[in-house]
Amino acid sequence: MPHVSAEEAPNTAVIDAEATLRKLRPGRQRAPLVGSDALRIVLLRMGQDEEPHRPHRHPGADEAMLVMEGRGTFTVGTQAFAAGPGSLVYVPRGVIHRIQVTGPEPLAWLSIVAPNLDASDEAVDVEA
């Protein structure tokens, strides 16, 4: 995911993530919620059998993903985890990870990345 600027995200004290999710159109969607130097939070939704990106790592940032709806397989390093609503997946900086939608309904999750880097190597593709 690209860097999220303060201008791109609402950055309000309270954001109703579920209401934001209901406003997204069907298909692959992305809604920035928070963007500061220290943190970015983005709401994402992908359809059945979609994969948001190839396996990758964030050399300078940690990522946590909170599943809001649907089911997916989250691979962190060499371990794969089935995750559904309420699951929190943590990826330490530098660890290769990927997401695959596995359920019949779309997968929606909050991606929380800290710090909110805008470096050229922030998300590095690696061979699958």
**Does a structural domain hold residue 111?**
yes
**Does a structural domain hold residue 5?**
no
**Does a structural domain hold residue 11?**
no
**Does a structural domain hold residue 4?**
no
Residue type, 109: W
Range of the domain at 76: 17-125
Instruction: Note the pTM of the prediction, 2 decimals.
Output: 0.88
Q: In residues, how long is the chain? A: 128
Q: How many CB atoms lie within 10 A of CB 107?
A: 27
Q: How many structural domains is the chain composed of?
A: 1
Q: Has residue 96 got a pLDDT over 70? A: yes
**Does a structural domain hold residue 10?**
no
Q: Has residue 115 got a pLDDT over 50? A: yes
The answer to whether the beta carbons of residues 63 and 94 sit under 8 Å apart is no
Position 1 scores a pLDDT of: 43
**CATH number of the structural domain spanning residue 72:** 2.60.120.10
3-state DSSP assignment of residue 19: helix
